[in-house]
Amino acid sequence: MTTILGISAFYHDAAAAIVRDGKIIAAAQEERFTRKKGDSSFPAHAIDYCLRAAGIDESEIDHVVFYEHPLTHFERLMTVYHLSAPHSLKSYLEAFPTWLTNKLWTDRVIARELDWKKPIQFCDHHLSHAAAAFYPSPFEEAAILTIDGVGEWSTTTYGMGRGNHIELLKEIRFPNSVGLLYSAFTFFTGFKINSGEYKLMGLAPYGKTKYVDLIFDKLINVGEDGSVQLNQRYFDYVGGLAMTNAAFAELFGGAPREPESEITQREMDIAASIQAVLNEIVLKMARHVKAETGAKNLVLAGGVALNVVSTGLLSRQGIFDEIWIQPAAGDSGSSLGAALWYWHQRLGNKRVVEKPDGMQGSFLGPAILPESEADDRVLEKLGAVWESLPEQQLQERMAQLIAEGKVVAVARGRMEWGPRALGARSILGDARSPKMQTHMNIKIKFRESFRPFAPMVLAEDATTYFDITQESPYMLLAYPVRDEQRISLTEEQRKLWGIDLLNVPRSKIPAVTHVDYSARVQTIDTTRNPFIYGVISAFKRQTGCSVIINTSFNVRGEPIVNTVEDAYRCFMATDIDCLVAGNRLLERHKQNNAPMTDEERDTWLRRFDLD
């Protein structure tokens, strides 16, 4: 047996993954253990978990692979600092110490942390993305497209995967980057880079695309092949400390929005405009890749692949027969890609294509078991009160509670790999409720009211509710709600704009229908998620509807809960009505603990930096 440990670290969202003889054994992000969202530090806790899941210690690892080449990354930084001096001096002084003491010596850091005596292997950043996308996919061969901010030098690549071999054919290089363009608008609209991109995407349907021509005229030149050139006169990320500059602000009518300040129509229109630009670029890239490779199917990774609006549009265009996206498409997923690349491409081992794919539903993290004496002791110490139910009875009870309008959190089975909660660490609700979106955003998630929730739907019923062209098990594709599910707007409602649109029911499943009639769909099947399939099936029997809300089990700024203790503390700090932990059902009104006071809740929330 050959065991390979893949690692990503030191930039954002550090993670580890273990692959044994080509089979994914475990994978997890460091943030889930440290409770620091996007934690970029060396993933010691994630590695420790992966080793325990594999039943080994450090001495039994055969190969360690890091997800990028630090020296090449450093070469890019030094080149940029040199060419942009003296403007880059402050950025240089801020970044250089961490490189000299840590990042430049990644191999030594890993060797010290793992007591590792053998050479550390390194994989190109975008090759790690490509491997994470292709090797677990259900395709024997497929075109590959990776799009992110920047790796070493690459910002976008495309190529082909066949059998166990990947070949990247062309790239776009820094400073021209679709990901950095989108991040610049994330920054300008007052959201945090590397986490606020979801907010910018969610805000887009509230605005009008009034700035599209301006963006194409002043900021970016896009070729018919999807290649991009950014006009650096308006940006500051090359050698600077911000994403945009004064010239950018002048184009868009004033200074960047202050974080946490009121969102105005300007921000909504900017969000709508940059989303439309991104959609056009992604489609052009995909058409070019199709023309160059002739491939039937496409796999994607890189942070931009998490933009469900663009990927859903790509799916509906039918350029490829089917697309498949790595559930952990960002840098965390590259730890897995690096390990799979080394097994298949460097060691030359045969690839076995798994169906429906090789990701095991993306449930690769630590488990909360149906029955565990250790978890019982934790809950008892916290003062929890629960009843344990057989699985089928628990599913029926959960469905009944959701149908009654209750919010039910679930922490059960192995934790999800990637940014999406897929049913193992989720908060569930009734999609038919017109008030549920606002209630869950304000009273449970403590976040902006405009942020949308995703529908979970039985895979076989998906086309009843959505114009969906393929399965979407990882909540990475947005599709329109079908016409027959929609509710027509009145004349008065048509006159509304901006956030006022939020409170207008637009379909028979209003809590998961965005203002543009789209939804970020998650299809549920018996292979990947049999427990949640049973819950929704019971809900369908009780209500006739096979759609429920799914959002991640956390509050704003908090990583998705990992342990039963994380789950109980979040449950008690919010207005969640019920918690399912393993096979235990906890109801709020039966807990011995008094609800948190507003002061206690504020203290708890301050543990987490706002995202």
SS3 assignment, position 332: helix
**Per-residue confidence (pLDDT) for residue 596, from 0 to 100:** 76
Query: Which domains, from first to last, does the chain contain?
Result: 363-605 (3.90.870.20)
Could you report the per-residue pLDDT of 447-504, keeping only the tens digit for each? 877 777 899 999 999 999 999 999 999 999 999 999 999 998 888 877 777 767 777 8
- Residue 177, pLDDT > 90, answer yes
Give me the pLDDT at residue 609, please: 81
Cβ contacts of 460 within 8 Å, gap of 6 or more: none
pLDDT (average), residues 371-390: 96
For residues 356 and 610, the model is more confident at: 356
| 140 band by pLDDT with thresholds 50, 70 and 90 | very high
Tell me how far apart the alpha carbons of residues 335 and 445 are, in angstroms, rounded to a whole number: 29
Q: How far is CA 571 from the centre of its chain?
A: 22
What mean pLDDT do residues 116-121 have?
Answer: 94
Q: Residue 594: its pLDDT value, please? A: 72
Give the pLDDT confidence score for residue 604 in this predicted structure: 74
Q: Cα–Cα distance between 536 and 399 in angstroms, integer? A: 7
Calculate the average pLDDT of the chain: 94
Q: Decide if pLDDT at 564 tops 90.
A: yes
**Confidence check: pLDDT of 305 > 80:** yes
Q: What is the pLDDT of residue 495?
A: 74
Assess whether pLDDT exceeds 90 at residue 98. no
Give pLDDT tens digits for 41-59.
999 999 999 999 999 999 9
CB-based contacts of 429: which residues, under 8 Å, 6+ apart?
Answer: 402, 406, 407, 408, 436, 440, 453, 511, 548, 549
CA-to-CA distance for 603 and 598, rounded, in angstroms? 9
Q: Tell me the whole-structure pTM to 2 decimals.
A: 0.95
Sheet holding 165-173, edge to edge: 165-173, 154-162, 141-147, 297-301, 322-325
* CA end-to-end distance (rounded Å), the chain: 42
Contacts 24+ apart (CB under 8 A), 82-89: 83/239, 84/238, 84/239, 84/240, 85/239, 87/239, 87/240, 88/238, 88/239, 88/240
Q: Encode pLDDT of 242-284 as tens digits.
A: 999 999 999 999 999 999 999 999 999 999 999 999 999 999 9
| pLDDT band per the 50, 70, 90 thresholds, residue 555 | very high
Question: DSSP label at 245?
Answer: -
Q: What is the pLDDT of residue 438?
A: 82
Mean pLDDT over residues 110-115, rounded?
93
Instruction: With a cut of 90, say whether residue 343 has pLDDT above it.
Output: yes
Place of tokens 């708890």: 604
Tell me how far apart the alpha carbons of residues 531 and 520 are, in angstroms, rounded to a whole number.
21
Cis peptide, bond prior to residue 452, ω within 30 of zero: no
